[in-house]
Chains A and B, each alone.
Chain A
Amino acid sequence: MIRRIAFAFFLLLSALPAHAVNPDEVLADPKLEARAREISSHLRCLVCQNQSIDDSNAELARDLRLLVRERLKAGASDQQVYDYLVSRYGEFVLLKPRLSEHTLLLWGAPAVLALLGVMALGFFAASRNTKRKTVALTDEEKARVEAILKE
């Protein structure tokens, strides 16, 4: 239903008049800023309903955005920024979960299911073909065929 009520409602609860990225947060270096935006879109606003910190207007999201930029300015790589945030807020902060034994099923599912599907198709096709396959010739019959062909 009204698929967004809860979503939008939650959003508005946290909608103290602030918004996603504000001009005062933007870094002077456009390359660094682009990286910051990319990283922000992969980080969850922890107090929001399924929103990235890049989209969110919550105070916490702003703090995280500033934190990301601070780290980048200090020369951290993307991976180091992610690691730092995970060490502070846990795996929950990543919108794209990392591959681990707990997420193996999640990441593996599409490939495994596709493979199973293909195998199932192959199996059905094969079982159908065998049903229709003519019975193999006995040795005696083969010998006769060869004899006839030689003539």
Chain B
Amino acid sequence: MIIEFGLYALVLSLATAIVLSILPILGARRGDANLMAVAPVAALGQFALVTTSFGILMHAHLVSDFSVANVWENSHSLIPTLYKVSGVWGNHEGSMMLWLFILSLFSALVALFGGNLPATLRANVLAVQGWISSAFILFIVLTSNPFLRIMPPPPEGRDLNPVLQDVGLAIHPPLLYLGYVGFSVCFSFAVAALMEGRIDAAWARWVRPWALAAWTFLTAGIAMGSYWAYYELGWGGWWFWDPVENASFMPWLAGTALLHSALVMEKREALKIWTVLLAILTFSLSLLGTFLVRSGVLTSVHAFASDPSRGVFILAILVIFIGGALTLFALRASSLTAGGLFAPVSREGALVLNNLILTVSTATVLIGTLYPMALESLTGEKISVGAPFFNLTFGLLMLPLLLAVPFGPLLAWKRADLLGAAQRLFFAVAAGFVIAIVIWYFENGGPVLAVLGMALAFYLMVGALTDLWLRGGFGKVPFSTALRRLAGLPRSAIGTAFAHFGLGVTVLGIVAVSAFQTENVLEMKPGQTVEAGGYALKFEGMQRGQGPNFTEDRGTFTLSKSGSSLGTISSSKRVYTARQMPTTEAGIRTFGLSQFYIALGDVMPDGGIVVRVWWKPFIVCIWFGALIMMVGGFISLSDRRLRVGAPSRRAKKAAVPALEAAE
């Protein structure tokens, strides 16, 4: 009975979403405050209903109600409670419910915190959120109903896919969706602004926190996914340029560009049209990602046929929303007035460069991901576009961007002194090279490119700190004064420094692990020892073990350095009983920022076992850098500007021609 109530709540939420889609817009058109006031109520109501429905699905999974097809297919009575919960979104129907839940959550947040928005803007934004919600609820109800029953109920479930039985599943999808779906708010703001035909710096000020929050979650989600793949898939890779990864990476790149262009718009009222377009494109890429992953079009072009209704439905949503928004943009963009002028060398100019490179990178990833599909359907020719292609093209595009990053915050608005900024960054460049050469020396050499790469990484880090150093006035004023100045800086400046520093840390991890990683593939027998990264690894032997829903063969290794023992590492091969599916559990030990990574291979006829041992120097930096970027995002979110009071619509000054003014 309660299951039917879940479906009932879902259908009712569709009705609410439709009301939300229509009435507030009518109200905004006619200036009817009562109709506009429907928006927040409907948004909150829809959130309550979707939450109820999602909660009921979760309850069914928790109590292992196998009369529900979704639970039967993706759960088991014996799996730990955590996996019963995360198993809710470890399948198509449930993950769409999570998508919808987070979308409704964002609508509710706009309703709650949008009190200081102009009434018409709030009504329109919420209505656009209502359109998106309606489309997705309809999609779930018509093609992906998670509440279907089976009669008679089977006694036991078919178990959750073993690869997903990991804490990663509990964290990664919700974070990723918070990012993906968070950009829907920016999209709604953009569409609402186009409908009103009015846009100004205040608009950018309202949009930026949403973009920032979504970006922060997406950063966390992607980093978490990368680490999960790293330890779960068992061959030590952390990024594969897999189409599914690219699907989440594209909105991240576009979102990063959006974050930066919104800054220009907020501060200088420039790049308005471009910012609106980016807001639309970023969420469009989120939708595209959802489509690519959910329709199965990526696994194979023919998977489309296996469930055409879902693929076609999402494709229709995609076409309507992206096409509609872009048409609206084409019709209305010209009515948006251009803003302040700036010289090519200026903070704005640097941010335009950032946007140019990030947009081209996004397009490159998009084209690379879709090219094989397009080519095959047009000519029948099959080609592959894999990691080597992306590493080359994306790498080349990133290089100028990374070089420019430390310059950005040092340049003044309107017109800046490039030579001056370069002089102030001299220390960062020098420090970068010195540290890189020292590391190179301790790693006993390596390719010259590695030195350049590491110098770039440290240049990014020191460059990010340079901005804070100069702003605090360290070295010029007494230390305590400088510290006080630093504490008084706007949080967004500190957030920027964190994010840019984190980028440097990630680059360091990528470069170091590509250049200095060592790998040993060998057959080991108990008692045998192998050297890696200056450590000695001794294979102790294999034991058989039993988990709640799997059996495993566990290999134990002891690690020592120059005679002193550093404890044991174990790595295992599991077979999950319900699905008879084998997995490998890598053995990982962290030393500072570096890691030991051990994966087991085949058992040989003579009793030995194939062991793969990697020493991955600085690999933790890859994810640690993302964590620092995230912290930067949160610090920036706590900025006073974004927290306190209603941002006033500033009286529109006649755009002061910056060029002339400066002359």
Contacts and interface: CB of A to CB of B under 8 A. Distances in A.
Contacts of B389: 95-97, 106
A1 B393 contact: no
B641 interface: no
B501 to A, nearest CB: 27
A17 B293 contact: no
B173 A2 contact: yes
Interface stretch (B133-141, B232-240, B327-335, B455-463): B232-240
Contact of B233 (A11, A93, A95, A128): A11
A127 to B, nearest CB: 10
Contacts of A15: 582
Most B CB contacts (10 A, CB to CB) among A23, A102, A107, A117 go to: A23
B657 to A, nearest CB: 6
B470 interface: no
A17 B602 contact: yes
Contacts of B336: none
Contacts of B367: 105-106, 109
Nearest to A113: B360
Nearest to A11: B233
A51 B384 CA distance: 10
Contacts of B71: none
B385 A19 contact: no
A91 B371 CA distance: 14
B350 interface: no
Interface string B56-95: 0000000000000000000000000000000001100001
A118 B602 contact: no
Contact of B296 (A6, A7, A22, A93): A6
A45 to B, nearest CB: 10
Nearest to A124: B338
Contact of A8 (B232, B243, B601): B232
A102 B237 contact: no
A50 B242 CA distance: 6
A102 B375 contact: yes
Given A12-B581, A109-B363, A128-B338, A1 B294 contact: yes
Contacts of A123: none
Contacts of A113: 359-360, 363-364
Contacts of B99: 1
B11 interface: no
A44 B364 contact: no
Contact of A95 (B244, B298, B357, B384): B384
A80 interface: no
A99 to B, nearest CB: 11
A55 B341 contact: no
A41 B241 CA distance: 13
B173 A1 contact: yes
B242 A7 contact: yes
Interface string A98-125: 0000110111011001100110010001
A2 B229 CA distance: 11
A9 B161 CA distance: 8
B503 to A, nearest CB: 21
A20 interface: yes
B247 interface: yes
Secondary structure at chain B's binding surface: helix, strand, loop or mixed?
Answer: helix
Contacts of B241: 50
A109 B359 CA distance: 12
Contacts of B247: 3
A26 interface: yes
A2 B89 contact: yes
Nearest to B387: A95
Contacts of B232: 8
B245 interface: yes
B385 A90 contact: no
Contacts of A105: 367, 371
Interface string A61-95: 00000000000000000000000000000111111
A18 interface: yes
A134 B89 CA distance: 63
A23 B293 contact: no
A5 B164 CA distance: 8
B258 interface: no
B235 A55 contact: yes
A51 B388 CA distance: 11
B388 A96 contact: yes
A135 to B, nearest CB: 15
Given A3-B245, A6-B244, A18 B360 contact: no
Contacts of B341: 128
A50 B382 contact: no
A118 B659 CA distance: 20
A139 B379 CA distance: 62
A75 B176 CA distance: 48
A21 interface: yes
A7 to B, nearest CB: 6
B392 interface: yes
Contacts of A10: 299
B197 interface: no
Contacts of B659: 129, 132
B356 A7 contact: no
Contacts of A97: 383-385, 389
Contacts of B384: 44, 50, 91-95, 97
Nearest to B657: A132
Contacts of B90: 2, 5
Nearest to B95: A1
Given A4-B229, A4-B244, A109 B573 contact: no
Nearest to A24: B523
Interface string B641-663: 00000000000000001011000
Contacts of A41: 387-388
Contacts of B293: 1, 3
Contacts of A35: none
A23 B385 contact: no
Most B CB contacts (10 A, CB to CB) among A50, A96, A129, A132 go to: A50
A97 to B, nearest CB: 5
Contact of B244 (A3, A19, A118): A3
Interface string B352-366: 100011011101100
25 contacts: A1-B293, A2-B95, A4-B229, A4-B233, A4-B244, A5-B90, A7-B242, A9-B161, A9-B163, A12-B582, A18-B601, A22-B602, A23-B523, A41-B387, A50-B240, A55-B235, A92-B383, A95-B389, A97-B383, A109-B364, A109-B367, A110-B397, A117-B359, A132-B657, A132-B659
Interface of A: 1-12, 15, 17-23, 26, 41-42, 44, 49-52, 55, 90-97, 102-103, 105-107, 109-110, 113-114, 117-118, 121, 125, 128-129, 132
Given A3-B176, A5-B161, A18-B602, 14 more contacts: A1-B89, A2-B172, A6-B296, A6-B299, A11-B233, A19-B599, A19-B602, A49-B242, A50-B240, A95-B388, A102-B381, A113-B359, A113-B364, A117-B356
* Top 4 A-B pairs, shortest CB-CB distance: A95-B386, A96-B388, A3-B244, A19-B601
